[in-house]
Chain A
Amino acid sequence: MQRQIPLILTGVIGFVMLLYFFVPHPFISGPGHFFEDAVIIVVAFAIVLGAANLLTFNGEIIARRGKDWPYKVVLLVSMFAMIAIGLVEGERYLEPETVFSWMYNTFYASMQATMFALLAFFIASAAFRAFRIRNLEAGLLAVAALFVMLGRVPIGNVISAHWPNGIQLPQISDWIMENPQNSAKRAILMGAALGVMSTGLRIIMGIEGSFARSGGNS
């Protein structure tokens, strides 16, 4: 029972949302609209749940003085500080002059951007140490990569400015993007679409079921 009802519910909701695409009539689109609105709210709670998980998980490490526990204290304190400021400042918490906005700019924006900027360094060192042209396939990859890297930036314009029209570097890189690149990418897109559709079908038919295991106290 505890497993069956959610599975049936999932199937029914999925089927309504599927039909909703083909049936504009309010008999289907009415429930469809309701599910759209409802899922927005439930997903929001799911994100809050993520924070709650973070709390229990790190709280447990702190409690048993696990590895790096002082850092976990920093983590939880900063999380609660952010929540407290947001609660105090209320609905207008994102106005430019609020403390919450200041925290966003100072901590969130700067560190998130830097985390990903680190990858620029790693990409260069990986290019040097782990980009091996060992066969024809890797060779094709390398040639396409070189053309695109050169053709997409101003240095490519400068090098090929006086080359015959049609084979200047930016044009070659555009052609690679629009033709050979695009055709292979489209095959991947179609294959991925079939994968998503069959997963959707299995969920609606109630034979996917892996989530029913992952939910609850398993």
Chain B
Amino acid sequence: MRPRASRPSPLRSGTTGLPHPVPRLRATSFAVLGFLALVAGVAHAQTPPATARATTTSSLPALSAAAADVQNDNGQALHVQWTAPAGVEQVIVERGSTPAGPFTVLDTVSAEGGSFDDNDVPRGKPVFYRLTGLGAHGPTPPAVIGPVVAVAQWFNTGRTNVAFFSVIFFAFVLFFLWSSRGGRKLFVRRIAGIDAIEEAVGRATEMGRPVLFVPGVQDIDDIQTMAALVILESVARTAAQYETKMIVPTNYPVPFTLAQEMVKNGFLEAGRPESYDPNSVRYITSEQFAYVAAINGIILRDRPAANLYLGAFFAESLILAETGFSTGAIQVAGTANVHQLPFMVVACDYTLIGEELYAASAYLSREPRLLSTLKGSDYMKVVIILLLLIGSVIETSFVLKNPPTQSLGQVSSPFKSWFRTE
């Protein structure tokens, strides 16, 4: 097959990155994307991928080689393959724009590998390769192959499976968002952690001691902090109903303001705005260990009967959990930072594990944004579980038909292979 690209591409790139001339399809898209397209690369993919065979210039044993376009890329890579005659140890790979040269050396590589990826090819232009083998008996005659053209693709077919999962999941989330905004009630089960929190506040009331709420150690850009503040509002409501004092130490200015807002709101909603103490939310410092040392001080001095640690926690989680434990307070913790959960599980009376933190905040706030995410994830999990069960059955029957000879996991069923990402 003779590649069409052996003649120059009608759309050649200018140096500034602006295409010339601009095709109509592009012009419309430009209008949409505005300045983004300033940097759009240029050459259009319209030539079929080229495969070229070696034309040897000598009767002596040269390399037999071939070059082809790399699929699913942006048109900047070509793959060169060869079979080297015995005695050839290294291969000099050169590239040029005409079969006669001039050629520039790309690299000298081991002949054993049998291939070379050229990742810096001008897009859409025909190129030629010259391969020269090197061995103990001197160089082989050069093999010139080409022309080949690097072409860009519009869809990476190796990622269909990722698109498949993403589309299903996004559809679920958007559907639930749409239906919850339309007023449909989305059912979410009550999280046991919420009961545990209420119980803890109740006990603090009985003992006449305050409730400590630590909303994590991250700024507001961490969604865990946001989730914690949502929970704080409902804790404040409960505390207001029971007329129990709250202490909320914070470590960044924005969570501080938001926490004040949340606590005030909670007291307002409980119908006791007069009991709201503006000093209950305190700004401490954003230095991690200084913040923790200050909370330790609060725990030891004020002896809160309930310690609630909800949000993003890091290395300090164990220090907090230990100090709180030593005062005998009821402790409820929750974080999505999985590596901190072990310390919370062993030292706290109840722990919200990972996603449960988000679920609790969605449950309490009933906000469509959060609920739709939660429901979408749930339905996606059902899809995953079903596909896993089907997949395992298929895989088992496949393995029964093709028992592994030596090592496991070498071959897999077409079903499993389809999900392999590239």
Could you list which residues of chain A lie within 8 angstroms of chain B, going by C-beta atoms?
Answer: 12-13, 16, 21-27, 29-31, 33-34, 115-116, 118-119, 122-123, 125-126, 129-133, 137-138, 141-142, 145, 185, 188, 190-192, 194-195, 197-199, 201-202, 205, 207-208, 210-211, 214, 218
Contacts and interface: CB of A to CB of B under 8 A. Distances in A.
Contacts of A138: 345-346
Nearest to B159: A22
B40 A194 contact: no
A161 B163 CA distance: 50
A116 B319 CA distance: 13
Interface in B22-76: 26, 29, 33, 36-43, 45, 72-75
Contact of A27 (B40, B156, B336, B377): B40
B380 interface: yes
24 contacts: A22-B162, A23-B155, A23-B156, A25-B74, A29-B152, A30-B17, A30-B40, A31-B37, A31-B39, A122-B318, A122-B319, A125-B322, A126-B347, A130-B321, A141-B346, A185-B338, A192-B354, A194-B376, A195-B355, A195-B373, A197-B170, A202-B369, A214-B254, A218-B254
Interface in B153-212: 153-156, 159, 162-163, 166, 169-170, 173-174, 177
Contacts of B226: 210
A116 B155 contact: no
A198 B37 contact: no
A160 to B, nearest CB: 24
Given A126-B319, A188-B338, A190-B384, A33 B326 contact: no
A37 B19 CA distance: 21
Contact of B159 (A21, A145, A188, A198): A21
Given A31-B37, A195-B377, A123 B318 contact: yes
Contacts of B159: 21-22
Given A31-B39, A197-B169, A207-B177, 13 more contacts: A24-B72, A24-B156, A25-B152, A33-B39, A115-B289, A122-B322, A130-B321, A138-B346, A142-B346, A192-B336, A192-B355, A194-B380, A198-B376
Nearest to B343: A126
Nearest to A199: B223
B156 A188 contact: no
Contacts of B166: 197
B173 A198 contact: yes
B342 interface: yes
B221 interface: yes
B322 A12 contact: no
B13 to A, nearest CB: 9
- For B26, B318, B354, B381, the residue with the greatest tally of chain A CB atoms inside 10 Å of its CB is B318
Nearest to A54: B286
Which 5 pairs across A and B sit closest by C-beta, in order of nearness?
A26-B41, A30-B41, A130-B347, A34-B39, A30-B40
B345 A12 contact: no
B334 to A, nearest CB: 14
B363 interface: no
Please report whether the interface of chain B is mostly helix, strand, loop or mixed according to DSSP: helix
B42 A198 contact: no
B123 interface: yes
B322 A141 contact: no
B411 interface: no
A26 B169 contact: no
B190 to A, nearest CB: 19
Nearest to B124: A26
B221 A214 contact: yes
Contacts of B369: 202, 207-208
A24 B153 contact: yes
B123 A26 contact: yes
Contact of A119 (B26, B41, B42, B315): B315
A126 B322 contact: yes
Nearest to A190: B384
Contact of B354 (A188, A210, A211): A188
Nearest to B76: A26
Contact of A23 (B38, B154, B169): B154
Given A22-B155, A23-B156, A131 B347 contact: yes
A16 B326 contact: no
Contact of B43 (A26, A34, A122, A208): A26
Contacts of B74: 24-26, 29
Contacts of A13: 36
B220 interface: yes
B315 to A, nearest CB: 5
Contact of A132 (B173, B220, B315, B346): B346
Contacts of A129: 322, 325-326
Contact of A198 (B40, B72, B221, B377): B377
Interface in B300-356: 315, 318-319, 321-322, 325-326, 336, 338, 342-343, 345-347, 354-355
B156 A22 contact: yes
